Structure formats: C-alpha cells, structure tokens
Amino acid sequence: MLFTWKEEFSVNIKEIDEQHKQLFKIGSELYDIVSLKDGVDRYDEIMEILYELKNYAEYHFRFEEELMKKYGYERYDMHKKEHERFINKVTTISEEEVDTEQRKVGMNLIVFIANWIENHILRSDMSYKDVLM
Ligand SMILES: [Fe+2]
Ligand SMILES: [Fe+2]
C-alpha cells in the first residue's frame, strides 16, 4: 500500500516515528475516500481530512524544528523551508475546487503526499537521524 509505514522509515526517534505514522494514516484515509467511485459527494470528508492534515503537519513540523534547534542542526533553515512549502500547498487548495473537482483534487493531493513521503521523510528527515538523539 502507498501509505504503509515500514520499519526502514524509522528515524530512531520514537515520538517522530509515531508522528510520521499518523501522517501516513491521514494519507491513507484520504486515499480510501478518493478511491470510492460511488458518486457520493465527499466534500465534507475531504475538507475534514485537509484540516486534519494541516493541523497535524504543523504540530509535527514544530516538534521537529524544536528538536533541530536544540541540537543546533546545521540544515535547519533548509529543512524549515521544506516544511513551509508543505503547509503552503495544503492551505492553498481551494474549497471551490474541492467542491467541483473532488476526484482530481483528491488524486493530486495523494500524489503530493506520496512525493512528500519519498522526498522529505525518506530523505530530509532521514538526514537528521544520527544527529538528533
Ligand atoms: Fe517529519
Ligand atoms: Fe521534516
């Protein structure tokens, strides 16, 4: 499955692994909803997941950034910018588009989260693995 957390994704920090798992869970909830082809309007559900994704990501990013500051992580600025880009993307999805082009917006968002996992969690987050402990 696209959003299944695996042991090899671990950054060796228990809280962060748990937070990443929660982000995977939100991604898979979205996937389940968007995959339904029953023609039912999912506006409320998609908006709710978007809201959850934004809030949880903000919480998680703050947690990581605090830890990076604490350990004087040298790639802090670059990393924080990637976090900002994520929040930007999630907040700029228009309600109107979710309403009129649900499947397209949902699919795009799934691809975005999947890319995020690959490029950010598995690369940028992995880079702090041996530094923050
Ligand atoms: Fe992360
Ligand atoms: Fe991060």
Q: Is the pLDDT of residue 133 over 90?
A: no
Residues with CB under 5 A from ligand 1 (ion): 125
In the reported structure, the alpha carbon of residue 37 is separated from the centroid of ligand 1 by a whole-number distance in angstroms of 32
Q: Is residue 9 part of a domain?
A: no
Mean pLDDT of 75-84: 97
Q: Where are the alpha helices (DSSP H) in the chain?
A: 14-35, 43-70, 76-91, 95-100, 102-116
Q: Answer yes or no: are the C-beta atoms of 116 and 86 closer than 8 Å.
A: yes
pLDDT for 13: 95
Q: How many domains does the chain have?
A: 1
Q: Is the pLDDT of residue 1 over 80?
A: no
- At residue 127's C-alpha, the angle toward residues 61 and 20, to 5°, is 40
Q: Answer yes or no: are the C-beta atoms of 2 and 28 closer than 8 Å.
A: yes
Q: Whole-prediction pTM value?
A: 0.94
The alpha carbon dihedral of 10, 16, 17, 23 has a sign of: negative
pLDDT for 2: 80
Q: Is residue 39 part of a domain?
A: yes
CATH number where 69 lies: 1.20.120.50
In the reported structure, the alpha carbon of residue 102 is separated from the centroid of ligand 2 by a whole-number distance in angstroms of 28
Q: Is residue 28 part of a domain?
A: yes
Q: Is residue 5 part of a domain?
A: no
In the reported structure, the alpha carbon of residue 121 is separated from the centroid of ligand 2 by a whole-number distance in angstroms of 6
18-59 pLDDT, tens per residue? 999 999 999 999 999 999 988 899 999 999 999 999 999 999
Q: Is residue 7 part of a domain?
A: no
Q: Name the residue range of residue 111's domain.
A: 14-128
In the reported structure, the alpha carbon of residue 35 is separated from the centroid of ligand 2 by a whole-number distance in angstroms of 28
Q: Is residue 103 part of a domain?
A: yes
Q: Is residue 2 part of a domain?
A: no
End-to-end CA distance of the chain: 30
Q: Is residue 120 part of a domain?
A: yes
